[in-house]
Amino acid sequence: MTQMLETVVIGGGAMGSASAWQLARRGRSVTLLERFAPGHTNGASHGASRNFNTAYADPTYVAMLAEALPLWRELESESGRRLLDQVGIVNHGPHSGFDEIAARLTAAGLGAEFLTPEAAGERWPGIRFEGRVLHTPDAGRLNADAAVSALQSAAAAAGADIRHHTRVLRLDVVGDDHVRVTTEAGVIDARRAVVTVGGWTSGLLRDALPVPLPRLVVTQEQPAHFALRDSSADADARAARDWPGFNHNVDRSLPHSSWWYSPVYGMYTPGQGVKAGWHGVGPVVDPDRRSFLPEPVQLAALQRYVREWLPGADADALEPVSCTYTTTVDENFVLDRVGPVVVGAGFSGHGFKFTPSVGRILADLATDAAVPAPALFALARRR
């Protein structure tokens, strides 16, 4: 039997769940369709930690950060769950844009301070620092699993219909205010569709839109959690409170970093250890045919990084992690609308921190045809 709905959100990861929350709290009728079970590990929104990194200079991203921070706190209040720990992030290594970043953050009311590597090392002895250190105290650590669950709970409390185990097979545009969604359980008709399916975006939308998507590359990224060297009973509690997130930039022309794959990011994950990873350099994959296994050469290089730069972590006591990135050429998001279809995609390994702001943008696009897409994220930009 065919159903007619107002808005259907396809994909129940962070961005789709945030869109459903934003739509439902506005009183809109919204149904969220998620292919997998709650808490699944097949996409990009699982795991216990993400950096809430505020070190951006682009005005669009800075404005979204300033919006996202109070929205995360609103979500915590609505859900009764702790999601964001503002333990700060330290950014170091060669970076010509640190001064501009600091100025932009200060203008937006977000903290930024510079430290010498010696002062930073004294304050955070678990990390070895290179060059001038930009400390962003308003930054921190997000619990990704808890955030997705909280978003769905808050959306449901506001009236959203959350449907797991509902695989979408096809999306067709029938008219200006009509989409047809074919699922394994039947056909759904709706006035609007918000598509937030991560690595499955190109496959679902390839024949559905009259304009091409920007090129989206899906990779299997392979960070790891490394145990603390201090194994005392209260070490985890101290680390959860005291370890900042970190971003280490790289100049691969320098001998000491010629073996690096990319800049390195990381944070302490309570109960799991120090998470560290390369950024966007994993093997290209079909999201339905992933191995979930670490690439051994990249993993060995990551262990070398931990030995040389993270003296508080044990490079030989590790647990690999597997997730996906869906990356655009310019690493900027896709947030736009074509007729009755709203697209949220290409979060390129740095989108999670913006989740509630992205949800607001996608909800705006779904409810008001006159709302333009942010130029940085438009489908029509250079690919």
How are beta strands 84-85 and 140-142 bridged, if at all?
antiparallel
Annotation: CATH topology of 1-48+143-215+330-383:
FAD/NAD(P)-binding domain (3.50.50)
Is 131 strand, coil or helix? coil
Cβ contact 130:93 at 8 Å: yes
Rounded Cα distance between 128 and 133, Å, is: 11
Name which of 310, 373, 370 is nearest 343 in CA terms: 373
pLDDT string in tens for the chain (383-residue length): 566 899 999 999 999 999 999 999 999 999 999 999 999 999 999 999 999 999 999 999 999 999 999 999 999 999 999 999 999 999 999 999 999 999 999 999 999 999 999 999 999 999 999 999 999 999 999 999 999 999 999 999 999 999 999 999 999 999 999 999 999 999 999 999 999 999 999 999 999 999 999 999 999 999 999 999 987 878 899 999 999 999 999 999 988 899 999 999 999 999 999 999 999 999 999 999 999 999 999 999 999 999 999 999 999 999 999 999 999 999 999 999 999 999 999 999 999 999 999 999 999 999 986 788 889 999 987 55
Rounded Cα distance between 275 and 120, Å, is: 19
Q: Which residues contact 34 (CB under 8 A, 6 or more apart)?
A: 11, 12, 13, 16, 162, 163, 164, 165, 166
Per the DSSP assignment, residues forming a β-bridge with 266 are: 246, 276
Structure tokens, 71:
């929205």
pLDDT of residue 225: 98
Is 160 strand, coil or helix? coil
pLDDT of residue 382: 57
pLDDT of residue 232: 81
Rounded Cα distance between 202 and 213, Å, is: 7
pLDDT of residue 132: 97
pLDDT of residue 381: 73
Rounded Cα distance between 323 and 123, Å, is: 32
pLDDT of residue 215: 94
What are the strands, taking DSSP E only, across 137-283? 140-142, 161-163, 168-175, 178-183, 186-195, 217-221, 224-228, 245-248, 264-269, 273-278
pLDDT of residue 231: 79
Reading across the β-sheet that carries 84-85, which strands appear in turn? 50-52, 140-142, 84-85
Rounded Cα distance between 304 and 343, Å, is: 39
pLDDT of residue 148: 98
Q: Which residue has 């000491």 as its token pair? A: 256
For the entire predicted model, the pTM comes to: 0.96
